[in-house]
Amino acid sequence: MEIRKLSEFVGAELVGIDAGEVISQNIRKEIYKAWADHSVLLLRNQNISPQEFVFFGRQFGVPIIQTLSDMNIQGCPELAYISSEDRDVHGSGKRIIRGTSWHTDHSYAQVPPKATILLAVDIPDKGGDTEFTSSTAAFEALSEEERTNLENKFSTHAYQSSRSPRPMAIRAAEDEKRYPGDVTHPLVRTNPDTGRRSIYVNTVRTECILDMDREKSDALLDRIYAHLDQEKFQYRHKWQSGDIIIWDNRSVLHKANGDYKGKRFLYRMMIEGEKPIL
């Protein structure tokens, strides 16, 4: 297995892995370490079936049932999809492009998933890239004073924050019941696999920083988002059909781009994580 870095702070391509094969314990450990170290892993040319994809994903941990159960595959709830045909079926009924602003998956959960895995099936000729920004590199690039200002603070995350730059799809009643109410997470979390710390925020979910005046909290969140939005911390992935990407929701934020025409379809799995720790 060869590991080729994709950018300075985030992403590596793994060469020499066939996701359709059973992966040995040793190689699995190496892949897991590469994933924790680089935050985003890319495997090209993996033309595997949805069943093989589920088998591949299970080798990295326990899959979770993803929210928006209407987009889960019938009979295999741990497998979902992201499609250009997605619709807000419990809301306006209109087409929606999900994920188009910086976020980390399911941060409204007490225990958000550590990994998200996508398998690209149909990819438009132009556009539809996914961008990643390293919230670890962004934290480490702050001055000591700026780091101290964020440490030991907590924020609330909601399914849809009042600050969200985009409307979220309305959830089915049973999906809402699985994640009732807001949750509190540290603003800076430690990744237990690397010991490194990252800024843990979400432009669609983070409502406010606790024990802070609302105006000050809004201003600090805006500064954090601007800091994370710098190209130097980022990797932009141009999809090819057969790509698998596995990212670490603890150390990167990601966003989709809706700038395409035609069909886009990817399968998605999420792997159980741990409660964010200081």
Given the rule CB under 6 A, which residues bind ligand SIN?
Answer: 82, 98-99, 116, 130, 254, 256
Using alpha carbons only, what angle is made at residue 143 by residues 142 and 147, rounded to the nearest 5 degrees? 70
Nearest to 34 by CA among 12, 10, 17: 12
Residue closest to ligand SIN (Cβ)? 99
> Residue 217 or 251: which CB sits closer to ligand SIN?
251
HSE-up (13 A, CA, CB side) for residue 223? 13
Smallest distance, ligand SIN to C-beta of residue 184, A: 23
CB 159 within 8 A of CB 108: yes
> Residue 14 or 266: which CB sits closer to ligand SIN?
266
> Residue 220 or 256: which CB sits closer to ligand SIN?
256
Q: How far apart are CA 98 and CA 77, in angstroms?
A: 19
Nearest to 71 by CA among 98, 111, 43: 98
Smallest distance, ligand SIN to C-beta of residue 98, A: 6
> Residue 10 or 256: which CB sits closer to ligand SIN?
256
Smallest distance, ligand SIN to C-beta of residue 122, A: 12
Q: Which two tokens stand for residue 61?
A: 């941990």
Smallest distance, ligand SIN to C-beta of residue 214, A: 28
How many whole angstroms from its chain centre is CA 107?
A: 9
> Residue 206 or 217: which CB sits closer to ligand SIN?
206
Q: Which two tokens stand for residue 268?
A: 């998605």
SS3 172: coil
